[in-house]
Amino acid sequence: MAMEQTFIMIKPDGVQRGLIGEVIGRFEKKGFYLKAMKLVNVEKSFAEKHYADLSSKPFFGGLVEYIVSGPVVAMVWEGKQVVSTGRKIVGATNPLAAEPGTIRGDFAVDIGRNVIHGSDSVENARKEIALWFPEGIAEWRSNQHPWIYE
């Protein structure tokens, strides 16, 4: 199967709570490759664009306020089935429903402070990567590749 890319973002609460290394470590140790990363404060209009599909939801305003409340860490991760597997590593949207062992299950309580974002489909990953990394992403492959992939 071809390699995929996904967009993962550590939200302001994850940054403030010192969970950057924890999140990166989980994706890195799994065998996925970090292809782009930056710590940024985003504008309200940018957050609204990222969450455009949710603009009719009652929680949209609060969600946008939360995302702009501090810096976020935006990343692109690459690997086999990284989109769906990344969602499993992230865990269910509501942290109280998220399984222990997932990031949200291990590190969060409230749905509005759920630490991390992960693309929900290959198509949305492509759109999110284009939105967050218009400058493009790195081209590299780990020397460990043959020890992780058959």
User: Which entry of ligand DAT, Mg ion, none binds 114, CB below 5 to 8 A by partner kind?
Assistant: ligand DAT
Q: Of 39, 43, 59, 141, which lies in the binding site for ligand DAT, with binding defined by CB under 6 A? A: 59
Which residue number places its CB atom closest to ligand DAT?
Answer: 93
Residues with catalytic function:
117
Residue range at the interface with Mg ion (CB under 5 A); choices 33-41, 64-72, 103-111, 116-124:
116-124
- Distance (Å, whole) CA 96 – CA 42: 28
Query: Token pair of 33, please?
Result: 């490759």
In single-letter form, the type of residue at position 53 comes to D
Q: Of 19, 63, 64, 75, which lies in the binding site for ligand DAT, with binding defined by CB under 6 A? A: 63
Query: Token pair of 47, please?
Result: 């957050």
Residue 136 CB partners (closer than 8 Å, separation 6+): none
Residue range at the interface with ligand DAT (CB under 6 A); choices 33-41, 113-121, 130-138, 142-150:
113-121
Helix (H, G, I), strand (E, B) or coil at 53: helix
In sequence order, what E strands does 11-145 have?
A: 33-40, 72-80, 116-118
Give the interface with ligand DAT as residue ranges (CB under 6 A). Answer: 54, 59, 63, 93, 111-112, 114, 117, 120
